[in-house]
Chain A
Amino acid sequence: MHKKQCGNGVEMKQYEIVIGLEVHVELATKTKIFCSCSTQFGGEPNTHTCPVCTGMPGTLPALNKKVVEYAVAVGLATNCEITRYSRFDRKNYFYPDNSQNYQISQLYLPICKNGGIEIETAEGKKTVGIHEIHMEEDAGKLVHDEKRNCSYVDYNRSGVPLIEIVSEPDMGSADEVIAYLEKLRLIICYLGASDCKLQEGSMRADINLSVREAGVKKLGTRTEMKNLNSFRAIRRAIEGEKERQIALLEEGKKVIQETRRWDDGKGISYPMRSKEDARDYRYFPEPDLAPLVIEEEWLENIRERQPELRDEKMERYAREYDLPEYDISILTSAKKLADIFEAATALCQKPKKVSNWLMVETMRLLREREMDAEELSFSPGHLAGLIELVDGKTISGTVAKEVFEKIFDEDIEPKTYIEEKGLKTVKDESAIKEAVRRVIEENPQPVADYKGGKTKAMGFLTGQAMKAMKGKADPSAINKILLELLS
């Protein structure tokens, strides 16, 4: 609920916002939806193209089976009904990024419908309905050349498979929108159906937003906001559009149903309108593609192959590993993290230790490197090996942190690495004694403090000795020798 105050403090009308989302997700197939071109990101312009995805005359689409399977998998994971008899339709509009001047999509019989997912915000839990999920092809990329006053077309992305997840208008705040997107992202990542990167455009959200006076049932006129590349932009765009629409209504004006483009740099949106945009897409069933019949057997097969999703995983971790709830929520916050956890634990049988490495050091390094957990690339076996080395007192905790950083960055094999670098804990007592003796000599004040009863000084001296040993000593051994020499 949103209250608006006038300058003089008189309370004005109350408004609430109603938000529905259209989320486009690029599927993680090897090839495009209707041709055998690679979906690989990047590449020189128009090098991942063929006559089909560049709309050459006489070419025809051939549907990638994997696209259907991913779409159904996402539908199942979001509690949708799977449409048993589904079809593709053509959406006709002229634009240069659209090589055929029609997009193959699904209007009349989308592959999934009537689903929903539960989200949680500070306000509590609620279900956001999913109206439908349909399959379609992505468009090419346009780059503008101001100097030459022209645009360039690259069809590498043309025909990359997308699903569009259309929510019901069930969200009432930016927090709910973000919670919904996070949840969707996690589900889809867990399924392996997409990597869902907002910044790289593999997940894109368009926001349908309207405002209405509190208590009014009827929905207000909505606008559609495009070009939102980050959660930050989404939050700002929602705020901005809400203010804009309320201001219009307050002035007694009407909200026009239109598509607007968010400029995150300027923090404002512009209508995307042209008199040449008829917005009459003349949809009709795609005659070049056969309809889809999802038989029970196929559906069952996809269902069986469905990986464990987060909620199930959380339950299992509590049951199997006896970890604190906090650990579990972090470990399952990204599919990759959970995968590493499970694999490393399977090798070393020490769930809590694996969890600690992931929750503390891994998280710290991710933050420092500005990386996403899904980008983690080290071998779980190397983490398990590291834990064994610490537990066997082959290396100290200090050295272990240093080694882990190497594992994180370069995926080194810890045992070989510490051999090569000579990082093993020094077992030779005389060497430790030598170092401790030097520390005592060089630090007369702390030694005097200790002898004067300030036991805290002991910690400092141990640290100094450890430093002198370059971390390669067992702290308890140092402690023992220190006590010996000082007494």
Chain B
Amino acid sequence: MKLTDLTAVELGRKIKKGEATAVEAVEAVLAEIKEKEESLHAYITIEAEKAVEKAKAVQKRIEKGELLHPLAGVPMAVKDNLCTEGIRTTCGSRMLEGFVPGYSAEAVRRLEAAGAVMLGKTNMDEFAMGSTTETSAFGATKNPRNTEYVPGGSSGGSCAAVAAKECFFALGSDTGGSIRQPSAYCGVTGFKPTYGTVSRYGLIAYGSSLEQIGPIGKDVRDCSVILETISGYDEKDSTSIKREDTDFSTVLTKDAKGLRIGIPRNYFSEGLDDEVGEAVLDGARFLKEQGAVLEEFDLGLTEYAIPAYYVIASAEASSNLGRFDGVKYGYRAMEYEGLHNMYKKSRSQGFGKEVKRRILLGSFVLSAGYYEAYYLKALKTKALIKREFDRAFERYDMILSPVAPATAPRLGESLKEPLKMYLSDVYTVSVNLAGLPGLSLPWGQDKKGLPIGVQLIGNAFGEKKLLQAAYALEQGLSICTKSSAEMGLR
């Protein structure tokens, strides 16, 4: 067995026992990168030398007994919209091509303090706006299962890197499904926590009120340990929440007995690919066998989630991305006449098409005369959607659903019709609107051999139950996906 076949927690344990070193782990991952990166392009920036240096330092501290964390010495990758001190952070945009932050995202800082070793920064849709990682200014990432397909997005680089063993785990961000959907497409486990669980400080903002940083890992245990490490109140993020129950790794018991699971009937109607629907229901059946109580129900208002999401996210983005103006950092046009021309040229040249599209939409819906009709209307819709979930969670511990209507599309297919691409977020965006935790777990594959994901949605702050159910579900994975696990990357 290769070192890179281990999960993050298994590797951490081996390093602590002295059966492997942090440096060996980094080198093993670098070997995978060397072999696969050219065809995959999961990373925008790889800091091989820095990672080796870091691994050496971490190894010493582990040997001295200073670093006891389960992830000490484990190589990780970080989505390129998370600031990393001294390492360029591009957000997948030409706008930030050479930007080197003087500070790190709080989530990254906490992982580094725990002894995780960062290898580099992963590719993503520009400013996290996209569902395929094709809007990146640095070229698309390919799906490790089949390089003719997209890895999903916007955290496509992180998910592809984990799936291809180019790292042991990765951080992603999820504004409308950007962790869960690419996790499903790549066949890895991704977790979007309850809004406010992880500090957003250092996450380059897209839709501030919707997004969370979350783990992407090889299994549920890895995700729970990573989440545990990055969770918690941070004075630098006023929307981060003080919560005591972040010892997520303590609840992995394989026990699904008595868990009440709701299955939204309407999620399985029109628009869902048959194979995906079958696989998801198969997952549900497995949980039932483990003692969970399943019930179908109608989750209302689902068709309003996407329009509400695009209004809110674009409005916030139009403001959040105002700071990219060619003054303090980032791209400045070569030629311009005067200040406002400099702004316009720098932004028009620095941003890609999809980003401009959303900034224009956002500026429009906030402009005089439209604020109420669009922005407030969307926020009222959000309140109604939250209410629908609240009602569901009166009866269920969690909701089980597909992650995306289909498996990964072919490269180039989605960009032609933006609205169609937006519609593929149908099962994920309402979770962001309601601030809920959501998890994507691989469950089988379609005839093309592309992974299928099951989504578990928890009530606010219901991470523990969600992880417990996911862990139970994961026990069935070996039965259902033997073939895909063996497949790996050729």
Direct A–B contact in the complex, CB atoms closer than 8 angstroms = yes
Q: In the assembled complex, which residues on chain A have CB atoms less than 8 Å from the CB atom of B102?
A: 51, 56
A280-B319 Cα distance, complex, nearest whole Å: 13
Chain A residues with CB under 8 A of B204: 57-58
Residues 126-175 of A contacting B (Cβ, < 8 Å):
153
A52 to chain B, nearest CB (A): 8
Q: Are B101 and A57 in contact (CB under 8 A)?
A: yes
B368 and A280 contact, CB distance less than 8 A: yes
Residue from B200, B202, B322, B363 in contact with A100 in the complex, judged by beta carbons closer than 8 Å = B322
Q: Is A231 an interface residue (CB 8 A)?
A: no
- Give chain B residues whose Cβ lies under 8 Å from the Cβ of A290: 238-239
Complex contact B340–A59 (CB within 8 A):
no
Give the distance in Å from the alpha carbon of A276 to the alpha carbon of B344 in the complex: 11
Contact, CB under 8 Å: B340 / A287: no
Q: How many angstroms between the C-alpha atoms of A51 and B102 in the bound complex?
A: 8
Q: Contacting B367 at CB < 8 Å: which of A63, A94, A280?
A: A280
Q: Mark B80-103, 1 if CB is under 8 A from A, else 0.
A: 011100000101000010010111
Chain A residues with Cβ below 8 Å from B319 are 90, 92, 102, 282, 284
| B340 with A94: CB separation less than 8 A | yes
Interface residue B387 (Cβ < 8 Å from any Cβ of A): no
- Inter-subunit contact B238/A282 (CB<8 Å): no
- Complex CA gap A458/B233 in Å reads 84
Chain B contacts with A in 217-271, Cβ cutoff 8 A: 235-239
Query: Which A residues lie within 8 Å of B323 (CB)?
Result: 55, 57, 99-101
Number of interface residues of B (CB under 8 A): 44
Minimum CB–CB distance for A149 against chain B, Å: 10
A284/B239 in contact, CB under 8 A: no
Q: Chain A 241-267 against B: per-residue CB contact (8 Å), 1 yes, 0 no?
A: 000000000000000000000000000
B333 to chain A, nearest CB (A): 15
What's the A-B contact tally at a CB cutoff of 8 Å? 105
Instruction: Report the stretch among B324-332, B421-429, B450-458 that lies at the interface.
Output: B324-332
Contacts of A105 in B (CB 8 A): none
Q: In the bound complex, how far is the Cα of B324 from the Cα of A51, in angstroms?
A: 14
Residues of A within 8 A of B82 (CB): 58
Q: With an 8 A cutoff between CB atoms, is B185 at the interface? A: no
B281 within 8 A of A: no
Residue of B89, B96, B325 with highest tally of chain A CB at under 10 A:
B325
| Cα of A230 to Cα of B9 in the assembled complex, Å | 67
Residues in B whose Cβ lies below 8 Å from that of A59: 103, 201-202, 236
Which residues of A are found within 8 Å of B208, using beta-carbon distances? Answer: 287-288
Measured between alpha carbons, how far is A54 from B325 in the docked complex, in Å? 12
Nearest chain B residue, comparing its CB with the CB of A149: B338
* B371 surroundings in chain A (CB, below 8 A): 282-284
Query: In the assembled complex, which residues on chain A have CB atoms less than 8 Å from the CB atom of B368?
Result: 280, 282
Interchain CB contact (< 8 A) of A102 among B209, B322, B339, B375: B322
Contact B239 A288 (CB under 8 A): yes
**Within 8 Å CB of A289, what residues of B?**
238-239
- With an 8 Å Cβ cutoff, the count of chain A residues facing the other chain is 30
Complex CA gap A283/B367 in Å reads 8
B-side contacts of A54, CB under 8 Å: 328
Distance between A51 CB and nearest chain B CB, rounded to angstroms: 5
Bound Cα distance A423, B322 (Å):
69
Q: Is B126's CB within 8 Å of the partner chain A?
A: no
Check B322–A92 contact: CB distance below 8 A: yes
- What is the chain A residue whose CB lies nearest that of B105? A58
Closest residue of B by beta carbon distance from A51: B103
Q: In the complex, A96 Cα to B322 Cα: how many Å?
A: 11
Nearest Cβ on chain A to B122's Cβ, whole angstroms? 16
Question: Is B101 within 8 A of A58, CB to CB?
Answer: yes
Contact B366 A282 (CB under 8 A): yes
**A61 close to chain B: CB less than 8 A:** yes
Given A51-B102, A282-B319, A282-B371: A58 in contact with B201 (beta carbons within 8 A):
yes
Q: Is A62 an interface residue (CB 8 A)?
A: yes
Task: Give CA–CA (A222, B102) in the complex, Å.
Answer: 46
Tell me, rounded to whole Å, the shortest Cβ–Cβ distance linking B336 to chain A: 12
Residue B318 at the chain A interface, CB threshold 8 Å = yes
Using a CB-CB cutoff of 8 Å, which residues 7-23 of chain A contact chain B? none
Q: How far does the Cβ of B209 sit from chain A's closest Cβ, in whole Å?
A: 4
Q: Secondary structure at chain B's binding surface: helix, strand, loop or mixed?
A: loop
Q: How far is the CB of A274 from chain B (nearest CB, A)?
A: 8
Bound Cα distance from A280 to B365, whole angstroms: 12
- Please determine whether B366 and A92 come into contact, CB atoms closer than 8 angstroms: yes
Chain A residue contacts of B318, Cβ below 8 A: 92, 282
Of residues A60, A102, A287, A288, which shows the largest number of chain B Cβ atoms within 10 Å of its Cβ? A60
Neighbouring B residues of A153 by C-beta, 8 Å? 327
The residues in A between 25 and 78 inclusive whose CB is less than 8 angstroms from any CB of B are 51, 54-63
Complex Cα spacing A57 to B105, Å: 10
In whole Å, how far is B224's beta carbon from the nearest beta carbon of chain A?
25
Given contacts A92-B322, A276-B340, contact A56 B101 (CB under 8 A): yes
With an 8 A cutoff between CB atoms, is B117 at the interface? no
Closest B residue to A275 by beta carbon equals B340
Chain B residues within an 8 Å CB radius of A99: 323, 328
> How far does the Cβ of B50 sit from chain A's closest Cβ, in whole Å?
20
Q: Does B431 contact A (CB under 8 A)?
A: no
Given contacts A102-B322, A282-B371, contact A57 B89 (CB under 8 A): yes
Determine whether B305 belongs to the interface, using a CB cutoff of 8 Å to chain A.
no
B203 within 8 A of A: yes
- Residue in chain B with minimal CB distance to A289: B238
Contact between chains at B103 and A62 (CB < 8 Å)? no
**Closest chain B CB from A212 CB (angstroms):** 27
Indicate whether B316 reaches chain A with its CB closer than 8 angstroms. Answer: yes
In the bound assembly, the distance between CA atoms of A94 and B347 in angstroms comes to 12
B339 to nearest A CB, angstroms?
7
Partner of B238, one of A51, A62, A280, A283: A62
Q: Is B205 on the interface with A (CB-CB < 8 A)?
A: yes
Q: Are B343 and A60 in contact (CB under 8 A)?
A: no
Question: Is the C-beta of B315 less than 8 angstroms from some C-beta in chain A?
Answer: yes
Distance from A33 Cβ to chain B, minimum over Cβ atoms (Å): 12
| Nearest-CB residue, chain A, relative to B340 | A276
Residues of chain A lying within 8 A (CB to CB) of residue B236: 59-60, 62
**B322 engages A101 (CB within 8 Å):** yes
Residue contact A58 to B203, C-beta cutoff 8 Å = yes
Find out whether the CB atom of A284 lies under 8 angstroms from the CB atom of B366.
Answer: yes
Indicate if the CB atoms of A287 and B328 lie closer than 8 Å. Answer: no
- CB pair B328–A55 under 8 Å, yes or no, is yes
Which residues B426-455 have CB closer than 8 A to chain A? none
Q: Interface centre among B81, B101, B105, B323, by most A CB within 10 Å?
A: B323
Q: Identify which of A57, A96, A101, A282 gathers the most chain B CB atoms within 10 Å of its CB.
A: A57
Q: Determine how close the nearest CB of chain B comes to the CB of A121; give it in whole angstroms.
A: 39
Q: Which of B81, B322, B328, B366 contacts A94 (CB 8 A)?
A: B322
Q: Measured between C-beta atoms, what is the minimum distance from A275 to chain B in Å?
A: 9
Inter-chain contact B339/A96, CB cutoff 8 Å: yes
Task: Verify A96–B101 contact, CB threshold 8 A.
Answer: no
Within A285-338, the residues touching B (CB, 8 Å) are: 287-290
Interface residues of B in 377-411 (CB under 8 A from A): none
Cβ–Cβ contact A57 & B322, under 8 A = no
Q: In the bound complex, what is the Cα–Cα distance between A60 and B240 (angstroms)?
A: 11
CB distance from B457 to the nearest CB of A (A): 22
Q: For B89, what are the chain A residues with a Cβ–Cβ distance below 8 Å?
A: 57
Among residues of A, the one whose C-beta sits closest to the C-beta of B240 is: A60
Interfacial chain B residues near A100, Cβ < 8 Å: 322-323
Chain B residues, CB < 8 A from A92: 318-319, 322, 366
Q: How near does chain B come to A463, taking the closest CB pair, in angstroms?
A: 70
List 20 interface pairs A-B (beta carbons < 8 Å), by A numbering: A55-B323, A57-B83, A57-B99, A57-B329, A58-B105, A58-B203, A58-B205, A59-B103, A59-B236, A60-B239, A62-B236, A90-B319, A94-B322, A99-B323, A101-B323, A102-B319, A153-B327, A282-B318, A282-B363, A282-B368
Which residues from chain A sit less than 8 Å from chain B, CB to CB?
A: 51, 54-63, 90, 92, 94, 96, 99-102, 153, 274, 276, 280, 282-284, 287-290
Q: Which 7 A-B pairs have the closest CB atoms?
A: A101-B322, A282-B366, A287-B209, A287-B208, A276-B340, A58-B202, A57-B204
Beyond the given A57-B205, A282-B368, please list 8 additional residue pairs across the A-B interface where CB-CB is below 8 A. Answer: A55-B328, A56-B101, A57-B99, A60-B238, A62-B236, A284-B319, A287-B316, A288-B238
